[in-house]
Amino acid sequence: MSNPFGMRPGIILLREGTDTSQVGFCHFPIFFSFFSLENYHISPFIDTVLSYHPTTIYCINFIQGKPQLISNINACYAVSDAVRTTLGPSGRDKLVFDGSNVTISNDGATIMKLLEIEHPAARTLVDISMSQDAEVGDGTTSVVLLAGEVLQQIKPLVEEGVPPQIIRRYLSEAGQLAVQKVLDMAVPFEGAAKKDMLLKCASTALNSKLIASHQDLFAPMVVDAVTLLAEKDRLDDVNSLVGIKKIPGGDVRQSFWVQGVAFKKTFSYAGFDQMTKKFQDPKVLLLNVELELKSEKENAEVRITDPADYQKIVDAEWQVIYDKMDACINCGANIVLSRLPIGDLATQYFADKGLFCAGRVQEDDLRRVSKATGAAVQTTTTGLAADVLGTCGVFEERQVGDQRFNVFTDCPLSLTSTIVLRGGTEQFIAESERSVHDALMVVKRAIKSGSVVAGGGAVEMQVSRFLRNHALTIEGKGQLIVNAFAKALEVIPQQLSDNAGFDATDILSALRRKHAVEGDDGKWFGVDVTTGSVCDTFASGVWEPSDNKSNSISAAVEAACVILSIDETIIAPKSQDPGANATGMMNSQGKPMSSMMGNAMAASQGGARSGQLGPGVSYMKGRG
Ligand SMILES: Nc1ncnc2c1ncn2[C@@H]1O[C@H](COP(=O)(O)OP(=O)(O)O)[C@@H](O)[C@H]1O
Ligand SMILES: [Mg+2]
């Protein structure tokens, strides 16, 4: 019998699709509904294929077209549902336990990453939350929620048979209009008002975090650290120049910011206590050299015949290390730091000569000391000269809680700074770090975009109203699609109210009225999460960088369009391997998947995505 297919089919075992069949590709308990065996059956088609290539066929997924779309939409909605309750100042945190580690977080990107979502389409949502994190640093929950809601609102249209191509076209048009509207509404800031604006942006970002009640402490730290870099046009180096040190223990209010470098005291040897621990204008020497007697740690075997030779070897060893130490002292250094160990002999020697030394300094700390003081890291002590030394205004060893810190302040190249976080538990500090990082990124983004919009759902309500009006100018299905998108935007104020324990229906109708009736006067009305009513959130200082909103709208629309472009998922044999990638994915004709799906897959694996929705919307990078 000849093979009717003419080629080896690269496809796999059959699964009968149901709308909910794919919701279960997630390791998180709430999504437990993995494929069951009943979902698989062997069709006559597969019977035929199996008879030709019994060993090469694994699975054919028969969900196609509408059921596939609905299935993907359901999966995405389920994923967005998982982070829904974390939104806003009254949002709760998620505790994610992966079998060994516990993470408590409110950050959308962190939760999405920890959920280990395997559903191929739903991973697009993970990707947009990661890219929002990399691009803006905040708004990671909002973007997932919005994308899930857009799909949910579009679902009835898909069920009614509106072609996905039409939906995609109108959605992306509406997305562009929405982004433009956000940019039109944005309020620019400069001059004296700038610092105040930035403080409010940082506070808004911290509002929803575990450390919200300490924003008076953290917001100024974050703004100072970022403006320091902005003045020298080094905003892009926030991550490398602003160090965040987590020191478990003590009280969260013992956290502090140092304009300079601070790191925890390293392991020290005898002689350390006699060292000078405070210097004014010291000379700093940075080394990548071990200052330890070699014989202490190495088991070298040396054969000698004359006992006097033994003394020569010992003397030579001592001479080597003394030469190194003298080189450090002679070049004029007061502080010697090394990435490698500095042993007890050197510690005592330096102490006697009035120097301070620390070995085993972490590489990033050493790099930041180098950037702050201007010292160049040396890999040898031979030929040390004064020009490799750095300096700072004050160096001291400072006690913070029950820990000691080496602190370099008033550094001449004062770009680097360090935020030292304290707190009771490791999880608390880890979440504080993520929150401070979000706030840093928000301030950076606010400075870059130079404009803000009001949060609390105000901007979403105004854009929603604008789109509803715009929808009236469209005839046919486009009107329904744009209206569905406008409705989806309301998910933000609705969820903010829900999470705060207020009646979302009442608040939404009050907001709709404000935005419709009062026109521009009512445009900044959003949810007042303290009283359960509506208020002018611009006036109450709930401010977010305009890029945050424009990025999240464009990313959500982009993700929805990608999901709507998928009409079939095929589990390729390669995907059964842990290291599998999207190249194994094919459509039912054995051809590579559509480029959109390919993009979605590449993106979900950290690849770059492309596309731009409008002016001012910067490009979404891959997973950050
Ligand atoms: N004081 C506040 N009143 C009302 N809404 C607020 C307040 N502070 C923050 N928000 C809103 O909370 C939302 C952000 O919540 P958050 O949990 O940080 O999620 P995301 O990860 O999307 O940033 C934004 O819509 C923001 O406007
Ligand atoms: Mg936030």
Dump pLDDT digits (tens) for 261-301.
Answer: 888 888 777 767 777 888 999 999 999 888 887 654 456 67
442 CA to centre of ligand 2 in angstroms: 9
523 CA to centre of ligand 2 in angstroms: 21
- Establish whether residue 91 lines the binding site of ligand 1, counting it when its CB lies within 6 angstroms of any ligand atom: yes
Give the alpha-carbon dihedral of 528, 533, 536, 537, to 10 degrees: 10
Using 50, 70 and 90 to split pLDDT, how confident is the model at 385? Answer: confident
- Establish whether residue 542 lines the binding site of ligand 1, counting it when its CB lies within 6 angstroms of any ligand atom: yes
Question: Which residues lie below 8 Å from residue 409, measured CB to CB, with a gap of 6+?
Answer: 258, 259, 260, 392, 393, 394, 395
Atom of ligand 1 nearest to the CA of 107: 21
pLDDT at 434 over 80: yes
Confidence (pLDDT) at 573: 59
70 CA to centre of ligand 1 in angstroms: 30
276 CA to centre of ligand 1 in angstroms: 48
Confidence (pLDDT) at 63: 56
Question: Which residues lie below 8 Å from residue 591, measured CB to CB, with a gap of 6+?
Answer: none
* Top mean-pLDDT range of 19-23, 82-86, 176-180, 594-598: 176-180
pLDDT at 116 over 80: no
Atom of ligand 1 nearest to the CA of 143: 22
468 CA to centre of ligand 2 in angstroms: 27
Cα angle 129-135-139, degrees, rounded to a multiple of 5: 50
pLDDT at 513 over 70: yes
What is the number of other CB atoms lying within 10 angstroms of the CB of residue 620? 26
State both tokens at 139: 């708004």
Tell me the catalytic residues. Answer: 107, 140-141, 438
pLDDT at 580 over 70: no
Confidence (pLDDT) at 450: 86
| CA pair distance 103, 426, nearest whole angstrom | 9
**466-493 pLDDT, tens per residue?**
999 999 999 989 999 999 999 999 999 9
Burial class (CB in 10 A: 0-12, 13-18, 19+), 334: buried
Lowest mean pLDDT among 196-205, 428-437, 589-598: 589-598
Atom of ligand 1 nearest to the CA of 454: 27
What is the number of other CB atoms lying within 10 angstroms of the CB of residue 233? 8
**515-531 pLDDT, tens per residue?**
988 777 889 999 999 89
Q: Determine the length of the chain.
A: 624
Best residue among 87, 546, 547 to mutate for probing ligand 1, ranked by most atoms within 8 Å of CB: 87
Q: List CB-based neighbours of ion ligand 2 within 5 Å.
A: 138
Q: Looking at ligand 1, which residue's alpha carbon is closest to its atom 13?
A: 88
Instruction: Assign domain 190-259+419-449 to a CATH class.
Output: alpha beta
What percentage of residues in the chain have a pLDDT greater than 90?
33
State both tokens at 79: 């994923």
Using 50, 70 and 90 to split pLDDT, how confident is the model at 619? Answer: very low
Confidence (pLDDT) at 40: 35
pLDDT at 419 over 60: yes
Helical (H) or strand (E) element with 141:
helix 140-159
State both tokens at 243: 């160090």
240-269 average pLDDT score: 84
- Establish whether residue 500 lines the binding site of ligand 1, counting it when its CB lies within 6 angstroms of any ligand atom: no
| CA pair distance 235, 239, nearest whole angstrom | 9
Best residue among 107, 204, 529 to mutate for probing ligand 1, ranked by most atoms within 8 Å of CB: 204
Instruction: Kindly report the average pLDDT of the chain as a whole number.
Output: 78
| CA pair distance 506, 513, nearest whole angstrom | 11
Q: What are the extents of the domains in the chain?
A: 65-187+455-604, 190-259+419-449, 261-413
- Establish whether residue 204 lines the binding site of ligand 1, counting it when its CB lies within 6 angstroms of any ligand atom: yes
Q: What is the DSSP letter of 578?
A: T
Ligand minimally distant from the alpha carbon of residue 455: 1
Ligand minimally distant from the alpha carbon of residue 204: 1
Residue 522 · residue 514 · CB < 8 Å: yes
pLDDT at 597 over 70: no
Atom of ligand 1 nearest to the CA of 460: 25
- Establish whether residue 210 lines the binding site of ligand 1, counting it when its CB lies within 6 angstroms of any ligand atom: no
Evaluated on CA atoms 246, 250, 251, 254, the torsion sign reads: negative
**Fold observed for domain 261-413:** GroEL (3.50.7)
State both tokens at 609: 């995505």
Looking at beta carbons, which pairs linking 603-609 to residues 24 or more positions away fall under 8 Å?
Answer: 603/124, 603/127, 603/131, 604/120, 604/123, 604/124, 604/126, 604/127, 605/581, 609/127, 609/131, 609/558
| CA pair distance 120, 24, nearest whole angstrom | 11
Question: Which residues lie below 8 Å from residue 49, measured CB to CB, with a gap of 6+?
Answer: 5, 9, 11, 57
CATH number of 65-187+455-604: 1.10.560.10
Q: What is the DSSP letter of 35?
A: P
pLDDT at 402 over 80: no
Helical (H) or strand (E) element with 207:
helix 193-207
- Establish whether residue 108 lines the binding site of ligand 1, counting it when its CB lies within 6 angstroms of any ligand atom: yes
Q: How far is C-alpha 432 from the geometric centre of its chain's CA atoms?
A: 14
| CA pair distance 403, 525, nearest whole angstrom | 47
Confidence (pLDDT) at 150: 95
Q: Looking at ligand 1, which residue's alpha carbon is closest to its atom 14?
A: 88
| CA pair distance 435, 86, nearest whole angstrom | 13
205 CA to centre of ligand 2 in angstroms: 5
| CA pair distance 371, 469, nearest whole angstrom | 54
| CA pair distance 159, 57, nearest whole angstrom | 32
User: Could you please report the per-residue DSSP string of 167-206?
Assistant: HHHHHHHHHHHHHHHHHHH-EE--TTHHHHHHHHHHHHHH
Using 50, 70 and 90 to split pLDDT, how confident is the model at 560? Answer: very high
| CA pair distance 127, 250, nearest whole angstrom | 36
